[in-house]
Structure 1
């Protein structure tokens, strides 16, 4: 059997087609992909990241986590629902370190992409009820950086004295 395998060869035409097909697969892989890194100076072991985050929100279609090197990881989902569930649940932490995630577009290189922002829910307390509106939430969110959404359920219940605003924050500024 080893002799048969040693004599197995690809012709030049087959070799070019094989690489061409692999290039197409790589392009499609970015469709439901996130690139991420842990915000820490300490060593992060890929196997522990993969084992802990593989059960992340129990993906229906599955997940493939790849080590890209330099503390970067590629999270490839096989269904859009799984990826959106993770994005809606941000921020995520791994061993008490913030996990920065970015949804990849087709033209982005995951190795050169700058990962410096995170999504947070911010609570604004002690506001009069008249100030708990989407307009005020947008002003607060834009003041912090980038407004994403406003939790409309809380003020309408009338029992909470704060509003929740979802914003994108630059973690480089927060760490200073």
Structure 2
């Protein structure tokens, strides 16, 4: 199993373009507090459990919305800059 992941690095860039559907009524002046993340596991990720666990770990000030993009990729919408910065700086 270790040999399967030997060439995998977190710094490795993906060249695939990922398009996210946004609401047509959003204002251009609003801060973009969004991330796309993925899980590097061969196991199945149970979306409702993951969503609940991540929200409990992060304790977002104004909440977080998490959408399943498929292929173990997830869209995270934050509603406060502090929440986004905390996650980027190394929160689980």
TM-score range, shorter chain: 0.5 to 0.7
Given that 1:44 and 1:71 are in contact with CA atoms closer than 8 Å, whether structure 2 keeps it comes out as yes
In 1: Cα distance, 2:47 partner to 2:41 partner: 14
Superimposed CA distance per residue, residues 70-106 of structure 1 (whole angstroms, 9 cap, x where no aligned partner) = 111111000111100111125x3xxxxxxxxxxxxxx
How many residues are paired up? 70
TM-score, normalised relative to structure 2: 0.65
* Cα 1:29–1:55 shift into 2, 3 Å: farther
Q: Could you tell me which runs of 5 or more consecutive residues in structure 2 were left unpaired when the two chains were aligned.
A: 1-22
Aligned position for 2:46 = 45
When you count strand as a share of all residues, which structure comes out higher?
A: 1
TM-score, normalised relative to structure 1: 0.36
1 or 2 for the larger relative contact order (CA 8 Å, sep ≥6)? 2
Which protein is bigger by CA-based radius of gyration? Answer: 1
When you count helix as a share of all residues, which structure comes out higher?
A: 1
Aligned position for 2:82 = 81
In 2: Cα distance, 1:58 partner to 1:77 partner: 11
* Cα 1:60–1:48 shift into 2, 3 Å: same
Q: Could you tell me which runs of 5 or more consecutive residues in structure 1 were left unpaired when the two chains were aligned.
A: 1-21, 93-176
Q: How does 1:63-82 map to 2 (within 5 A)?
A: 63-82=64-83
